[in-house]
Amino acid sequence: MNTKKLMGIILIIIGAAVLVVGIMMVASKSRDSQSNEMSTPIITNNEESLPIHSSVAGTDQCIKPDKIEDSVAKEASAVNSQETDSSKAKGNSFEDFVVNLLADWRLTLLDRTQDAVSSAGVVAESSKNPDLHISQKRGNGTIDYYIECKYRSKWQHGEVQFEKWQIDRYHKFQRQEKRKVIIALGVGGTPSSPQTFMLVPLDSLKNNAIRKIDTQYVVQSNSSALIEYMNSYFTTVFDKAKTGGKH
């Protein structure tokens, strides 16, 4: 074998060796890359780093899971507050409706209970009294009584039911003050113009409820009708007192 052939064979062997080493290096890099990808965590246990995507009012926002509970609580509180404010506004509007019926020289509003509550929830004991204290001219004298105003948007199963503790409180107040308490009830329509207006003596309540069929308590929404109704009621009261409760 001559020198040229020997050199050619040596070069071929060296080239093959280099090629094999190159292939091995490429394969090693590929395995390292796959190993790194597998070792990289896709999901983390740190919940604070996992924002939840949501769209509010057309704007994309990211809310962290630990903030969801606070957000829900705040929304619920806001809804309850709105419902309370709405209920209070309706109550005040109906109370104004009743007060406007007192625009007659024979009627005098002696007191109107204030139900203000402090930021810490403190209320005056007087705020638990019936809403209105009224004096009414009757013949040569006067009578005075209290009215508690209640408004409902509709009848529930043909009646309006009240909490027992509320009615018990008004009965206690009536005994202490020795003055009659009347429930002014508005149902339907709007608080400022109810479809049905009733004046129901507390003593006439049965099972802490006023029924739709108790039409004897329905009164027209004007001062004269209120005065006539109260005069008739107190005539009965005084007559019963004279006869020892028998009539």
Would you state the pLDDT for residue 20? 65
Whole-number Å distance between alpha carbons of 34 and 196: 80
Question: What is the arithmetic mean of pLDDT over 147-164?
Answer: 97
pLDDT single digits (tens) 38-54 = 554 444 444 444 444 44
User: Which of 40-44, 96-100, 225-229, 242-246 is predicted least confidently?
Assistant: 40-44
Q: Which residue has the higher pLDDT, 28 or 61?
A: 28
User: Which of 90-94, 163-167, 218-222, 240-244 is predicted least confidently?
Assistant: 240-244
Paired with 184 in beta bridges are 149, 199
Whole-number Å distance between alpha carbons of 90 and 193: 11
Whole-number Å distance between alpha carbons of 240 and 247: 6
Whole-number Å distance between alpha carbons of 183 and 25: 95
Question: What is the arithmetic mean of pLDDT over 23-31?
Answer: 65
% of the chain exceeding 70 in pLDDT: 70
pLDDT single digits (tens) 95-142 = 999 999 999 999 999 999 987 676 777 777 777 899 999 999 999 999
Residue 172 has pLDDT above 80, yes or no: yes
Tokens of 229: 């109704």
**Residue 187 CB neighbours (<10 A):** 20
Whole-number Å distance between alpha carbons of 150 and 160: 10
Residue 223 has pLDDT above 70, yes or no: yes
Residue type, 73: A
Whole-number Å distance between alpha carbons of 200 and 183: 5
The answer to whether the Cα torsion of 217, 222, 224, 227 is positive or negative is positive
User: Which of 12-16, 52-56, 145-149 is predicted least confidently?
Assistant: 52-56
pLDDT single digits (tens) 76-89 = 455 455 555 688 89
The overall longest dimension of the chain from CA atoms, in Å, is 154
Grade residue 71 by pLDDT with cuts at 50, 70 and 90. Answer: low
Length of the chain: 247
For the chain, the average pLDDT equals: 81
**End-to-end Cα separation, the chain, in angstroms:** 150
**pTM > 0.75:** no
Burial of 78 (0-12, 13-18, 19+ CB in 10 A): exposed
Question: What is the arithmetic mean of pLDDT over 212-233?
Answer: 97
φ and ψ of 113, to 5 deg: -65, 135
